[in-house]
Structure 1
Amino acid sequence: MTLNSELKQYLAKNFPGLQLTQPLFYKKIPGLRFDLQDEKLEAGSNNNLQEYLAEVNRRINIIYNEVINANDDILIFYNCYTWKRRKIRKSNYIIKQLLNPLPPHQFKRTNTPPNNDKYFKGDRSCQLIIKDKASNINFKNIFKAISHTDFYFRPVIEGEVYIINETTNIIILMYDDRGCDVISNDIPILRSYYNKLSDLVLEYDREQIIKTLSLDNVNPPH
């Protein structure tokens, strides 16, 4: 079975009808939306940018360490939008974050983006699927490269990196330096994450999260 087929079967079983496009939080699946920004730091200021990005990476790694364990089975679905014949190469930064020997992986190309969002930067998609243990993937470097998407820093990952935890049946998407979505149909595990990571929950969506997870008796932090 190809990894693409395995991914499709996994999603059909655990997340029926889900299409891996952002934002994950608004896919009618229970989830959490985390704020990676410190409102006291100005992302646009050259003086504060390094400090700002350091805080972004501190927060995403706190979330990662809570929701993923070293022995968890991981599928990475990397999707980027391209023009014409461009493709993902084995020199891609994500592949460099994998321990040798290279784990099971599959490259895939589509003729059109997964939907018709006018903001897509391309006329087709290039995709990479990777399967491995979490301990064999340098997620810290991957998150750092995602945080550079809107800035003139290297390394950078352009596109969407979906982290599918097959062990706990959660999906994580750090969409850029602003935030991160975590979705699952396992309400108790999301409640646990909420209680442990409440300070990082995006205030704009907190009320919806509390309602979805039946956390009405939980008071938001002050």
Structure 2
Amino acid sequence: MEPAIADPVSFAKDFIAGGVSAAISKTTVAPIERVKLLLQVQHISQQIAAEKRYKGMVDCFVRIPREQGVLAYWRGNLANVIRYFPTQALNFAFKDKYKQIFLGGVDKNTQFWRYFAGNLASGGAAGATSLCFVYPLDFARTRLAADVGKAGKEREFSGLADCLKKIFKKDGIVGLYRGFGVSVQGIIIYRASYFGCFDTAKGMLPDPKKAGFFVSWG
């Protein structure tokens, strides 16, 4: 079990600090993310007529506050921030469980490649399992960000709850998981690389408390 998990207080502090940091960073770059998404989907969006399509990044940045209001830069950001907490909690919880499965009886010193492969598998499996639970929030974030209506009836969704409710009512649970297949492939590669390489490197490095000065600071 990871040291941070073994100490609930320390883990809680790191978890909250990570959440606050993620919220600030995601909120800061949200306008850029929304502009990027609108430029990607405008050619297939039924809300954007051909003659009203954005000419580029600058044009999109200028027109969003003028046509939709300044707060429109952050449409979908709430869902993006909220999903961080369950995603991180589930990632660490599932990663520990999968480690017990893939790394049981594996000696990292004499079976390095099995140890490395086990960490890759644990990270990828944890990411895929976590996504099963939080994907509707990710999907809702994308749909909200792609909504270009100004207010009221012009908007397809009034907020996160309304978005989830309308999609579920129209298409059922399957509607909330559109695009899941592509997303899960990406998250498996990303989490396998992230957790796999990080956990393997951390496991192979000497304990900072026992290592010499130059080893611990090198």
User: Which bin holds the TM-score, normalised by the shorter protein?
Assistant: under 0.3
Structure number with higher strand proportion: 1
TM-score w.r.t. length of structure 2: 0.20
More RCO (CA 8 Å, sep 6+): 1
Structure number with higher helix proportion: 2
TM-score w.r.t. length of structure 1: 0.20
Q: Which has the larger radius of gyration?
A: 2
